[in-house]
Amino acid sequence: SKTSQAADFDVVAIGGGFSGLYMIHSLREAGYSVRVYEAGGDVGGVWYWHRYPGLRCDVESFAYCYYFSEELYNEWTWTSRYPSQPEILRYINFVADKFDLRRDIQFNTRINAAHYDEVNERWQIYLNDGTSVTAKFFIPTVGGLTSAPNVPNFKGLHSFEGEWYHTGNWPKEKVNFKGKRVGVIGTGSSGMQVIPEIAKEADHLTVFQRTPQYSIPAGNHELDPEYVRQRKANFKELKQQIRNSRTGDFKRLIDKSALAVTEEERLQEFESAWEKGGGLPRYNDLFTNEEANQTYGDFVRSKISEIVRDPEVAQKLMPNYHFGTKRIALSTNYYETYNRDNVTLIDIKKAPIEEITPMGVRTTEKEYKLDALVFATGYDAITGPLFKIDIRGRNGVALKEKWNHGGEISTYLGLAIDGFPNLFMVAGAEGPGAVVNNLVVIESNVEWIIDCLNHLREQGINTIEARPEAAADWSKSVAEAANATLFVKTESWWTGANIPDKPRGFPIYLGGFDKYNQICKEVADKGYAGFSLSVNKKEEVN
């Protein structure tokens, strides 16, 4: 149904992705009214928009799924170790059907603005269809990582006469690359997945690489029915295991430095991780100790030179920064693809792209003639999706100003922002979602928020707002955890370096998912310590 000026909800949320859908389900169960707005024509979130060939999640299917319902868990059967985009989209549709979630979603609608109205203690939400609604709580479940595609502002882009695509906004119909000269710009996780697929089809593929990224083999395979049966039979244990893990999945570290073993033992562990695919050696200091990190970086470089026949090409593919400090890509036949006769690798750090021409791409060295161009150039992550909405808290302060365009992000637990009452984020800035299995962070955040709303309802509390000191402390602990690692030493989308003029930082909690959960629980157990709760505009109770 179309909303009218008068519509008022307990909660307005955003998007038919994993967080929006679980939000609807949980709110309903707890007896709240909810309306979700979704720009797309159906459910799926990023899995609706991203449809490029080769797209798979880099978290295993039995970890990258909901754990809130054992019935749902048992009814769905994953077919491969790493789920493909079509399979994930089918799963999301299955969930939406099972719980009848679409009836609380207005599709093809964007939220342009959300302003907090202090007098009425309501969020006023403005939609792109010209209408507006109000809500007691605003929960912008926008997706923090890959929902704001970044198409670099190349000179001449719109003069290009061929077709062009961004991996994050891919047509629903299959794109045909047969007989074509195709260019791919970008060699991050998306580029490394799409490049081997396009190479198989295109007449010729030219890859424009600015920075080589580390890739490890995904080791993807069909799931054995016996494995599936065992996973299904152990729902409770597995849920427990995931919830109490550092990375939100089934991976476990051994409590040992990579430097505490002989070189022989270390190489054995490296080989076995590489063979098995999908994971890293289990030493506990790969991301905190430069020397330990170097041992695995060297190992991956040695693999590249083994796999890639042309030594010059191999050299170009070798990253020279700390291993894994740009997000590691899981790929299938990525390095092998450069052994094909129809694939050329261009180093655009050496010879940068000057412009896109009607015929293709011109670097400072030469023009490459292309029929199609694929941008695998990533996303304005973490703050990008939120900043697309004009969000204003107390005194009309815009979130973008408050966070100084991303230069001074501050949240409490990645869940709340001081000055923005009755607003909660899911898998947001300063939470752990960008480095762990994001789906379990979504579940954990949604459940925390529902418990909190229930508490407020029971206590007759109208507004909840993070205290500035609590937010400042949290941001400090986020920075401390990050600074103890090697991640901060490399430019990446985590630091904001992939977007021109984006302020740098590291707004991701690296203390571990388990520790994060524990902290969030303690805050709730202490009656929402660090928050101001008020019965009405004047009366504070906490």
List binders of ligand NA7 among 200-259 (CB under 6 A).
Answer: 210-211, 213
377 binds ligand NA7 (CB under 6 A): yes
Half-sphere exposure of 166 (CA within 13 A, CB side): 16
272 vs 262: CA distance, rounded Å: 15
Which range touches ligand NA7 (CB under 6 A), out of 15-23, 287-295, 374-382, 458-466? Answer: 374-382
166 binds ligand NA7 (CB under 6 A): no
Q: Which helix (H) or strand (E) is 523 found in, with range? A: helix 513-525
* CA-closest candidate to residue 299, choices 276, 272, 326, 278: 272
- Cβ proximity to ligand NA7: between 188 and 393 the closer is 188
Q: How far is the CB of 332 from ligand NA7 (least distance, A)?
A: 15
83 binds ligand NA7 (CB under 6 A): no
Which range touches ligand NA7 (CB under 6 A), out of 103-111, 370-378, 401-409, 481-489? Answer: 370-378
- Cβ proximity to ligand NA7: between 191 and 530 the closer is 191
The contact mask relative to ligand NA7 for 335-354 (x = CB under 6 A, - = no) is -------------x------
Half-sphere exposure of 110 (CA within 13 A, CB side): 9
* CA-closest candidate to residue 324, choices 369, 356, 349, 292: 292
Residue 332 phi/psi, 5-degree rounding, is -125, 115
Q: How far is the CB of 397 from ligand NA7 (least distance, A)?
A: 30
14 vs 36: CA distance, rounded Å: 5
Give yes or no for a contact between 37 and 159, defined as CB atoms under 8 angstroms apart.
no
* CA-closest candidate to residue 68, choices 243, 223, 228, 230: 243
* CA-closest candidate to residue 451, choices 396, 528, 358: 528
- Cβ proximity to ligand NA7: between 92 and 145 the closer is 145
- Cβ proximity to ligand NA7: between 435 and 520 the closer is 435
Name the residue type at position 48: Y
- Cβ proximity to ligand NA7: between 153 and 395 the closer is 153
- Cβ proximity to ligand NA7: between 72 and 313 the closer is 313
327 binds ligand NA7 (CB under 6 A): yes
- Contacts of 290 by beta carbon, 8 Å cutoff, 6+ apart: 322, 486
Among 23, 125, 145, 361, binds ligand NA7 (CB under 6 A): 145
List binders of ligand NA7 among 84-143 (CB under 6 A).
Answer: none
Which range touches ligand NA7 (CB under 6 A), out of 277-285, 357-365, 376-384, 501-509? Answer: 376-384
146 binds ligand NA7 (CB under 6 A): yes
Among 9, 123, 283, 493, binds ligand NA7 (CB under 6 A): 493
The contact mask relative to ligand NA7 for 497-536 (x = CB under 6 A, - = no) is -x--------------------------------------
316 binds ligand NA7 (CB under 6 A): no
Number of residues that bind ligand NA7 (CB under 6 A): 22
Give yes or no for a contact between 167 and 374, defined as CB atoms under 8 angstroms apart.
yes
* CA-closest candidate to residue 194, choices 210, 179, 173, 177: 177
Q: Quote the tokens at residue 375.
A: 């941008």
List binders of ligand NA7 among 275-304 (CB under 6 A).
Answer: none
Distances (CA, A) of 408 to 47, 402, 431: 30, 8, 15
- Cβ proximity to ligand NA7: between 376 and 399 the closer is 376
Q: Strand 132-139 relative to strand 8-14: parallel, antiparallel, unpaired?
A: parallel
Among 314, 361, 374, 376, binds ligand NA7 (CB under 6 A): 376
Residue of this chain nearest to ligand NA7 (CB atom): 188
Q: Quote the tokens at residue 412.
A: 């409490």
Other Cβ atoms closer than 10 A to 124: 17
378 binds ligand NA7 (CB under 6 A): yes
List binders of ligand NA7 among 173-192 (CB under 6 A).
Answer: 185-191
Identify the three-state secondary structure at position 375. strand
**Residue 467, burial from CB neighbour count under 10 angstroms (0-12, 13-18, 19+):** middle
Which range touches ligand NA7 (CB under 6 A), out of 271-279, 371-379, 391-399, 529-537? Answer: 371-379
- Cβ proximity to ligand NA7: between 116 and 208 the closer is 208
Q: Which helix (H) or strand (E) is 450 found in, with range? A: helix 438-459
- Cβ proximity to ligand NA7: between 47 and 528 the closer is 47
- Write out the residues near ligand NA7 by the rule CB under 6 A: 145-146, 152, 167, 185-191, 210-211, 213, 327, 348, 376-379, 493, 498
